[in-house]
Amino acid sequence: MRNLLPSRPLWRFLCALLASLIWTAFADRSVAQTSYPDPANEHLCPSQTGAGGGAEAIPAFVGPGIDGFSPNQSLCLPQLAPVPTGLSPLAFIVQGVEPGDRVDSQGTIYVESIRGVPGGVDLWRWDASIDGSPNANGTLPFKYEGQPDNCGIFGLSGGGCAQNVGSPTNLGVAPGGGDADIAVNAPDPNNSAIPNLALTSLTLAPGVTATRSRNRGDTFFTPPNLLSAAVSGDDRMWNDAVDDPSTVYMSYHDVATFNIEVQRSSDGGLTYAAGAGEAIDAATLPAAGSIVLTDSANVAAQIKVDRNTSGCPSKGNLYAAFVAPDNAIDNAHSAPLGTVYVGVSTDAKLGAVSFTFTDHKVFTSPAGSPGATTGTANIFPALAVDNFGHAYVVWSDNQSIFLSSSSDAGGHWTVPVRVNGGATAGKSNVFPWVAADANGHVVVTWLGSSLAGNSNSVAAMQPSCAGGTTDCWAKWNVYMAESVNGHDAVPSFAQHVASDHIIHSGTVCTSGTGCSGGDSRSLADFFQVALDPQHRANIAYADD
């Protein structure tokens, strides 16, 4: 869902929770993130370099920690995009939403967020060997890496770049920021064993900007590739990488047909011309595609590579999840997106220039259920594959978070189980995400409300309160559920509150760019979780 740069002050900031929930029993350890004046010893923050007048989006925040998690910390972000020297005093309000995070095999953590088109994206990195060990207060000394999609263009003298955090040549304008994603490869034996970092950023035209870093985000290829998507009309790209030094996949919507285009890169994510396929097969396209505006079409999850380390033959398979109507008639009649699908490619790994997908229905919401009424896109479904090749897909019907798994390379899927329970049962629960690593070790994150009802409903989420306050509005927190038998028919989950403060009050819109003024899209559309080599969950989320 393409996001636009805000035209008014938005006191929104990015928080990232980095919690180590090692899956062996009672072996919890926690870590996290922040801003200036610097209780987390972050590097190259705007206030330290003078960028944007030295101001940051918010004062530094470090929470108290909760439920075995580290203190939540805000990542430093400029309040305004830097005002170029010699130009009129024009500056953009900066926001950080839809955060994505990845952890490479060496434990380096990357977090990116978007400002909105044409503001570009921001990137942070923590690598213990470079940036320092975790702080005594449980936070991590992240380095602010600037804007990777503004490297070599849109500047006054040589253009902006990832190293220009305090430079007046950075206009705060970039070819992207509507959506973003990142992916990390395996260590490169020809590059000091440093894993490649790929990044894509969505702009209005011509489409997707792509770039890569071979030095852990310190610099990116100059200039970035503005023409990485083969289709010029595109939206909501996702990335994943193979566990080799340079193979990266990108998926995105073709806005003309609403098929999900998939392209392969063999150069670390700079170009995506080494292979291509479409994730919605010919049999499924009538139910999930769109040739007229009134079709329901689909909402696509990120793409996932099976990187299992157990020798399973499914290694290298490619998965793409999406939600759509159950059939062509429902699609043509603008029915809710009540069916969950996963497309599987078993030939993408062969390296041919053309590869195929076969789609499988995971679940169709029964008549009268919340999913049949509100759909299963609240807002994105999500995918993961563990180290034994078990695949997992999660989604929300706006009331509950569901998980289904496959142990036969996506051919068959278990009956969905509700992940959320306890205080979240019967309330509104949206924005699911999932990560997996060891055999059956799965973590699911989501945004949970204190009130029941549709998250988009002003009446349900923002009732009239005594004294004209907002005290009785829905209060939202980040939740995480962890399982060590996620591929069982009935897996068990331990649920935790991950945010150590309320991160939002009121409505949460799940309609993407279709949100109206009355239902809040201030948190944008999703947040992510990634597992590190010690099986710890690293959660990055937006907070307003």
Q: Which residues contact 523 (CB under 8 A, 6 or more apart)?
A: 97, 431, 447, 503, 504, 508, 541, 542, 543, 544
Q: Is 461's pLDDT higher than 50? A: yes
pLDDT at residue 512, as a whole number: 79
pLDDT of residue 76: 87
Look at residue 91 in the predicted model and tell me its pLDDT.
59
Mean of the per-residue pLDDT values of the chain: 87
Q: Cα(505)–Cα(469) distance, rounded to whole angstroms?
A: 12
Q: Are 149 and 174 in contact (CB under 8 A)?
A: yes
**Which band of pLDDT confidence, cut at 50, 70 and 90, is reported for residue 84?**
low
Q: Which residues pair with 442 in a beta bridge?
A: 436, 483
In the structure encoding, which two tokens stand for residue 29, read together? 């350890």
pLDDT band at residue 83, thresholds of 50, 70 and 90?
Answer: low
pLDDT digits (tens, 9 = 90+) for 291-343: 888 999 999 999 999 999 999 999 999 999 999 999 999 999 999 999 999 99
Q: Which residue has the tokens 């008014």?
A: 8
What's the confidence (pLDDT) of residue 195?
99
Beta carbons within 10 angstroms of residue 368's beta carbon: 8
Q: What's the number of CA atoms in the CB half-sphere (13 Å) around residue 358?
A: 7
Tally of CA atoms within 13 A in the half-sphere of 191 that contains its CB: 16
How far is residue 483's CA from residue 440's CA, in Å, rounded to a whole number? 7
Distance between CA atoms of 160 and 151, rounded to whole angstroms? 5
Tokens standing for 219? 């610099």
What amino acid occupies position 353? V
The answer to whether 263 and 276 are in contact (CB under 8 A) is: yes
User: What is the rounded CA–CA span in Å between residue 539 and residue 522?
Assistant: 18
pTM attached to this predicted model: 0.92
Q: What percent of the chain has pLDDT over 70?
A: 85
pLDDT tens-digit series, residues 119-169: 889 999 999 999 999 999 899 999 998 888 887 666 555 555 645 555 555
Residue 497, pLDDT score: 97
Q: Is 264 exposed, middle or buried (0-12, 13-18, 19+ CB in 10 A)?
A: buried
Please check the confidence at residue 81 and state whether its pLDDT lies above 80.
no
- pLDDT tens by residue, 7-46: 322 222 334 333 333 222 222 222 333 334 577 788 878 7
Which sign does the torsion angle of CA 360, 365, 366, 367 carry?
negative
DSSP assignment letter at 372: H
Q: Give me the pLDDT at residue 59, please.
A: 77
**What pLDDT does 165 receive?**
54
DSSP-derived 3-state class of residue 18: strand
